[in-house]
Each structure stands twice: as structure tokens, then as C-alpha cells.
Amino acid sequence: MSAHSSQPGYFADDSMARRVMSKRAVGLTYGQRALVIGAVHPRLYVGTAENTEHRDTPYTRLALTGKLFEAVFLGSKEEADRALAFTTKKHAKVVGELPEAAGPRHPAGTAYSALDPHLMFMTMAFTFDSAEVMYDLLVRRLTDGERDGLYQDYVRWAELFGMPRDAAPADYRAFRRFFDGYLASDELFLTDEARLVGSYLAGQRVPYPQRAPLQQVASAFFLLVQGSLPPRIRAMYGMRWGTADELAFRALAGGVRTAHVAPPLAPRVLRGTLAGPSGPVYRLVSERERKLARTGRPSMPGVDPRNWAARNSAGLAWEDRGHVESRISPGRRA
């Protein structure tokens, strides 16, 4: 039954979606990995950044997104429907154009919309790819049949959010050809803001190191996220990744995988935390961000809390004021 309720959800208990997304190692890592990689898609990144209510609380937005996704995957139909209705209402407002050029393939004025079928699919693509990669890495490798089953569940999941079925490739092999081709193409581009935000999400920048043992936990988490990224994505962010990093990453991932494959070898306290919803951890992240806000410290120093439209409307207002004042003679000024 549902991880959230005794009522049935959109996905059966034995579905690949529930089996994969109920693993906390996946639930706590796939979202940030998906955002770090998804930031290379200018229409997705800019469309979200320009229209979100959480520009100054990005981790709260991440936690909310994780909670909504988890409600659809693991919740009852009632919980899922509430999450879907909330998301649909928010998405209706996400429409606009790129205010500035974002590489040669995305000139200024390129349109975006949260209801664009292809953008819906790309959102699913980044999310599915990250869930698949993190499960392979931290739990066990999926079989070919399981991989296709997980893909079909994700297509169904995207359909619940409004994506037309024909916006996605028919099967996993077709998806993998498309997505791997996309990651190797010249369509990828990081805006300056996307690079900055992604570097925080990946742990490349850590503005407020935590005390032990939370610092060690955070470092391990970021090592898993960075190590799971395709080399080209790490290069686009300018991440340093050497032999020592790779060896540490493999050792950590192997340890987490062993805990899943051979639970008796894992400490008792760890065995009880391997599966279940990740919502409680999301809440902790949001609470820490609110504490920072109360002390006047931004979650991501250097990221302007205003979107492009607000920044530039403020600049135009200042210019207009200066233009008007220049037309007033000194003798008439107060």
C-alpha cells in the first residue's frame, strides 16, 4: 500500500516507480542531480527561475517539488490529486520568453511554457534519468525489463502532470538514444545564474559549512551527486574531479549499495532508514533555510532574489526618474 496512506495510489505497490522511489538513497539524491543537469536546458531553467515564488528560498522550492513528486509516486490517489491540482495551477502562470540569449541555439525571445509538451517531457527526462542512475549506483543495477518498466511508469507519471503520451519516446531504448544524444549535443548551455545555482546544488560551493557530523554527511551527499554526473556536465560547471575523487566516490557508493544488497552487513540504525518517504528530510532542509533567512543570510550568496523582469524594471524606473529630473531646472527642484 501507499507509503503515505492505506489507500491505493496511481502506482501499484509492486510497480517499478514505487520500488525505486521508496528507496531513500534515491529519494534524497535524484532531485538535486536532476536540477544540476537540467540547468543546462535554458528554457527549463529560465522559465522556472523567472516564475518561481522561491527565488530567495531555493531549497524550500526543492523540498516542495520533492514532496509533490513523492505524493504522486507514493501517495494515495487523493494525495496525488491534490499535488497534481496544485502543480497545474502553478504551471498555468509559467509562460514567457528568454529575456537574453542563452547560447547560439537559444536566442533572446525564445518562447517557453510549462504547458509545452516537449518541455514537460524534458522535465520528465531529467528526473527519470537521475532516478535511474541513482538506483543503479546506490541500490543495485536494474535489469532490462525493470528499466523499461520504470521508464513506462515515469511516462505515466508525466501524463498525470499533463504531458501528452506522444511527447515521449515509445520505450526505454528510444528514450536512451534521444537523451544521450541530447547530452552530447550543442543545445546545452549554462547561463551565469544557472551555473551559480547548480554549483550550490552540487556542493561545488558551500557557503555555510555545518558542524560535525552533519558536515561529513553533507560532504558524502555532495560527493555522490557530483560523482554521478556525466563528465561533460562536470566540465561545464568547471568542477575539479581527479583520481582521488573518483576512488572516494566509488567507495562511498559501493558502501551504500552493500547496505541495500546485504542488509545484515549494515548497521542496525542504517537498515531502518533505507526505505520510506523522504519528506521528513525535506522539512529539515526547509527549516535550515528559514533560519538563515531570519538572520539575513541568503541560501545562495550571489544569486539575486529578484528575477530578470524585476531587476530590469527597477533599472528602467531609475533611468526614467533620472530622465525626468534632468528636465527639471535646478531652481524648481526641492
Residue 238, judged by CB atoms within 10 A of its CB (0-12, 13-18, 19+), counts as exposed
Question: 156: which 3 cell numbers?
Answer: 505515466
- The pTM assigned to this predicted structure is 0.87
Q: Where residue 109 falls among pLDDT bands split at 50, 70, 90? A: very high
Mean pLDDT, residues 228-253: 97
* Half-sphere exposure at residue 236, Cβ-oriented, CA atoms within 13 angstroms: 26
Beta bridge partners of 97: 111
Residue 46 has pLDDT above 60, yes or no: yes
Contacts of residue 104, defined as CB under 8 A and 6 or more positions apart, other chains included, come to: 186
- Asked if 137 and 257 count as a contact pair (C-beta separation under 8 A), the reply is yes
- Please name which of 23, 62, 36, 26 lies closest in space to residue 226, comparing C-alpha atoms: 36
CA 182, 47, 226 angle in degrees (round to 5)? Answer: 50
Give the residue, 274 or 12, on which the prediction is more confident: 12
Q: Write down the residue that cell numbers 582521488 correspond to.
A: 244
Percent of the chain predicted with pLDDT > 70: 86
Mean pLDDT, range 54-81, rounded to an integer: 91
Q: Which residue has the higher pLDDT, 303 or 209?
A: 303
Grid cell at residue 195: 551555473
Average pLDDT over residues 110-134: 97
176 class by beta-carbon count within 10 Å (0-12 exposed, 13-18 middle, 19+ buried): middle
pLDDT above 60: residue 324: no
For residue 198, report the phi and psi dihedrals to the nearest 5 degrees. -60, -35
Cα 37 from Cα 129, distance rounded (Å):
10
Please give the pLDDT value at position 315. 54
pLDDT band at 333 (very low <50, low <70, confident <90, very high): very low
Tell me if 181 sits within 8 A of 188, measured CB to CB.
no
Helix ranges, 189-307 (H): 192-201, 214-228, 231-237, 243-261, 268-271, 279-294
**Does the pLDDT at position 254 exceed 90?**
yes
Q: Is the per-residue pLDDT at 226 higher than 90?
A: yes
State the pLDDT confidence band at 209, using cuts at 50, 70 and 90.
confident
Say which residue, 21 or 321, is predicted with more confidence. Answer: 21
Q: 82-86, 207-211, 312-316 — which is least confidently predicted?
A: 312-316
Query: Residue 314 pLDDT more than 70?
Result: no
d(CA 2, CA 74): 6
Over 70: is that where the pLDDT of 329 sits? no
What are the CA-CA distances from residue 105 to residues 42, 183, 186 (Å)? 10, 14, 8
Alpha-carbon distance of 4 to 277, in angstroms, equals 8
In sequence order, the β-bridge partners of residue 113 are: 95
- Determine the average pLDDT of the residues in 67-78: 94
Q: Given a cut of 90, is residue 61 above it in pLDDT?
A: no
Task: Give Cβ neighbours of residue 42 (< 8 Å, ≥ 6 apart).
Answer: 98, 102, 103, 106, 110, 189, 191, 194
Mean predicted lDDT score pLDDT of the chain: 88
Query: Strands (DSSP E) along the chain, which ranges?
Result: 95-97, 111-113
